[in-house]
């Protein structure tokens, strides 16, 4: 029996052959799990070479449990003199999707999950990309790990609820992605880049949750506008850029309860519904979600000790925001990254859209970092960080590129060891003495 083990990988997309074209991407190096994953998240950007920022903004996240597949992928055009089109693509049968580099209204390529491999997965390219962008899967291993991807639409009423039900386990960890689309349908495109990413976990102290929403406004006569939110009082808060330096608030989606066969979400602050794809997990580990104390305005090693336990892996969403539970629009918005550090490797994607400039300036990157946030200027970087070491109370990262001022991030930490302190075996079903893992209520 084994607890959760996370590994990441990356490979240039296969661009030769007649679709469907199969491609294996497996974790390598270090001590491998030598088993099939239970779930995976797939990252893609415009980046062909790891660590090289290129135009335009293309930022895609997909997920699967080996049955259900969902993907969202944003694109904002760059270099246009008096227009900047932007789109978010979503799909219900693929895990990788990328819009054309010059036209947000055209899909460049997409791939579906095809099969699990030992230490990885096989993709099936239904439409080949023009270039060999880096595809970076994040794999979730473990014989004790339970995982399922579910699509859910939140309530359109303030204080209204919507639930995921029917899971064969009680989840204690979720990773969610969301768009403005009315669902994840085949090659569904909506105008504007609108992407939410959030984490939530159940702990002995209660629910911890946090996330980021990034919005890039598609403006047919003026260049792109951008807005961003970071909230730790919910899974994420939707925000909409309406003009250069202007924005409107959207709903705050919050986890209301963890249920025996699912999870219940509540709509707060604004009456509107959002559609999410949610990777629901039950893992036998201590968990922490939040926005840690982070000094990234200077280079060098920095310790993150907010979790208070030794992690086996951690995720990070980097931003350019200076405060939690806040929204920014204008020059300090539209820049983010999403990544993971496993102890064996770091992988992330990053993207940015500069607010209200002519011509439009948008970029993205796939990198071997936990954070890699592009700057809103040319092909520059705002800040980046790489994993150094797991600590007894958190993790040490190195700020490789310092931000102009301290920036906020959202992080998810997953504890080392199958029975981390603060967690106990919970006996369910007295006749058969079934055992699952859960938070210690003491």
Give the pLDDT of residue 81: 54
Separation between Cα atoms, residue 142 and residue 242, nearest integer Å: 44
pLDDT of residue 288 exceeding 90, the answer is: yes
Give the pLDDT of residue 217: 81
Average pLDDT over residues 280-295: 96
Give the pLDDT of residue 434: 40
Domain limits for position 21: 5-439
Q: Residue 180 — φ and ψ, nearest 5°? A: -85, -10
pLDDT of residue 61 exceeding 60, the answer is: yes
Take residue 437 and report the two structure tokens written for it.
């893992």
Give the pLDDT of residue 441: 38
pLDDT of residue 67 exceeding 60, the answer is: yes
Q: Residue 66: pLDDT band by 50, 70, 90 thresholds?
A: very high
pLDDT of residue 47 exceeding 80, the answer is: yes
pLDDT of residue 230 exceeding 60, the answer is: yes
Give the pLDDT of residue 435: 40
Cα R_g (the chain), whole angstroms: 20
Q: What percent of the chain has pLDDT over 70?
A: 89
pLDDT of residue 374 exceeding 70, the answer is: yes
Higher-confidence residue: 394 or 87? 394
Task: Name the pTM for this structure.
Answer: 0.94
Take residue 294 and report the two structure tokens written for it.
């982070």
Lowest mean pLDDT among 95-104, 150-159, 392-401: 95-104
Give the pLDDT of residue 93: 98
Give the single-character DSSP code of 14. Answer: P
Give the pLDDT of residue 87: 87
Contact yes or no for 265/151 (Cβ under 8 A): no
Query: In total, how many domains does the chain have?
Result: 1
Angle at 172 between CA 249 and CA 442, to 5 degrees: 115
Residue 61's nearest CA partner among 238, 179, 188 is 179
Q: Looking at 246-393, which runs of residues are DSSP E strands?
A: 246-259, 262-268, 275-282, 287-290, 300-304, 311-319, 326-329, 335-341, 346-353, 362-367, 371-374, 381-391
Average pLDDT over residues 173-179: 96
SS3 for 112-170 is EEEEEECCEEEEEEEECCCCCCEEEEEEEECCCCEEEEEEEECCCCCCCEEEECCCCCC
pLDDT of residue 119 exceeding 60, the answer is: yes
Which tens digits make up the pLDDT trace of 392-423? Answer: 999 999 999 999 999 999 999 999 866 544 44
Separation between Cα atoms, residue 223 and residue 200, nearest integer Å: 35
Lowest mean pLDDT among 10-19, 176-185, 251-260, 356-365: 356-365
pLDDT of residue 62 exceeding 70, the answer is: yes
pLDDT of residue 238 exceeding 50, the answer is: yes
DSSP class per residue in 413-439: EEESSTT-TTEEEEEE-TTTTEEEEEE
Q: Residue 86: pLDDT band by 50, 70, 90 thresholds?
A: confident
Give the pLDDT of residue 82: 52
Average pLDDT over residues 49-78: 94
Lowest mean pLDDT among 14-23, 187-196, 428-437: 428-437
Average pLDDT over residues 12-24: 97
Which tens digits make up the pLDDT trace of 306-344? Answer: 999 999 999 999 999 999 999 988 766 789 999 999 999
Separation between Cα atoms, residue 259 and residue 255, nearest integer Å: 11
Q: What percent of the chain has pLDDT over 90?
A: 75
Give the pLDDT of residue 77: 81
List beta partners, residue 423. Answer: 439
pLDDT of residue 253 exceeding 80, the answer is: yes
Higher-confidence residue: 346 or 100? 346
Q: Strand 246-259 and strand 262-268: pairing?
A: antiparallel
pLDDT of residue 32 exceeding 80, the answer is: yes
Give the pLDDT of residue 102: 83
Count of other CB atoms within 10 angstroms of residue 340: 24
Q: Which of the residue ranges 78-92, 336-350, 374-388 has the most confident prediction, judged by mean pLDDT?
A: 336-350
Average pLDDT, whole number, for the chain? 90
Give the pLDDT of residue 362: 84
Separation between Cα atoms, residue 222 and residue 243, nearest integer Å: 9
Q: Residue 58: pLDDT band by 50, 70, 90 thresholds?
A: very high
Average pLDDT over residues 345-373: 88
Lowest mean pLDDT among 161-175, 210-224, 406-420: 210-224
Instruction: Convert 241-279 to b/e letters by CB count within 10 Å (16 or more is b).
Output: beebbebeebbbbbbbebeeebbbbbbbbeebbbbbbbb
Give the pLDDT of residue 436: 43
pLDDT of residue 183 exceeding 90, the answer is: no
């Amino acid at each position: 029996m084994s607890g959760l083990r996370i590994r990441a990988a990356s490979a240039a997309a296969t661009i030769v052959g007649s679709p469907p074209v199969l491609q294996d991407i497996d974790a390598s190096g270090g001590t491998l799990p030598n088993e099939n994953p239970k779930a995976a998240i797939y990252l893609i950007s415009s980046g062909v070479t790891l660590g090289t920022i290129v135009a335009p903004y293309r930022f895609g996240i997909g997920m699967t449990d080996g049955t259900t597949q969902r993907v969202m992928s944003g694109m904002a055009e760059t270099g246009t003199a008096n227009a900047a089109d932007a789109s978010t693509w979503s799909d219900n049968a693929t895990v990788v999707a990328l819009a054309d580099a010059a036209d947000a209204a055209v899909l460049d390529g997409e791939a579906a999950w095809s099969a699990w491999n030992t230490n990885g997965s096989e993709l099936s390219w239904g439409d080949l990309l023009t270039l060999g962008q880096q595809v970076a899967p994040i794999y979730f291993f473990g014989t004790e790990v339970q995982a399922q991807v579910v699509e859910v639409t939140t309530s359109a009423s303030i204080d209204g609820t919507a639930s995921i039900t029917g899971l064969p386990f009680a989840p204690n960890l979720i990773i969610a992605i969301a768009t403005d689309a009315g669902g994840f349908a085949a090659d569904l495109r909506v105008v504007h880049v609108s992407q939410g990413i959030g984490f939530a976990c159940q702990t002995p102290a209660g629910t911890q949750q946090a996330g980021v929403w990034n919005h890039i406004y598609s403006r047919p006569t003026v260049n792109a506008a951008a807005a961003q939110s970071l909230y730790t009082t919910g899974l994420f808060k939707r925000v909409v850029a309406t003009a250069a330096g202007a924005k409107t608030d959207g709903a705050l989606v919050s986890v209301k309860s963890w249920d025996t066969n699912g999870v219940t979400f509540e709509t707060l602050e604004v009456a509107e519904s959002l559609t999410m794809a949610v990777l629901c997990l039950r893992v036998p580990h201590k968990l922490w979600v939040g926005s840690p104390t982070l000094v990234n305005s200077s280079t060098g090693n920095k310790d993150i000790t907010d979790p208070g336990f030794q992690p086996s892996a951690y995720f990070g969403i980097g931003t350019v925001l200076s405060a939690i539970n806040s929204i920014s629009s204008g020059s300090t918005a539209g820049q983010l990254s999403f990544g993971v550090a496993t102890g064996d490797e770091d992988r992330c994607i990053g993207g940015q859209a500069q607010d209200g400039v002519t011509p439009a300036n948008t970029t993205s990157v796939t990198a071997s970092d936990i954070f890699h946030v592009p700057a809103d200027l040319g092909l520059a970087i705002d800040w980046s960080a790489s994993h150094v070491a797991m600590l007894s109370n958190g993790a040490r990262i190195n700020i490789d590129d310092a931000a102009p001022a301290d920036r906020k991030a959202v992080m998810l930490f997953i504890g080392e060891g199958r029975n981390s302190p603060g967690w106990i075996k919970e006996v369910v079903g007295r006749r058969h003495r079934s055992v699952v893992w859960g938070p210690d209520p003491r």
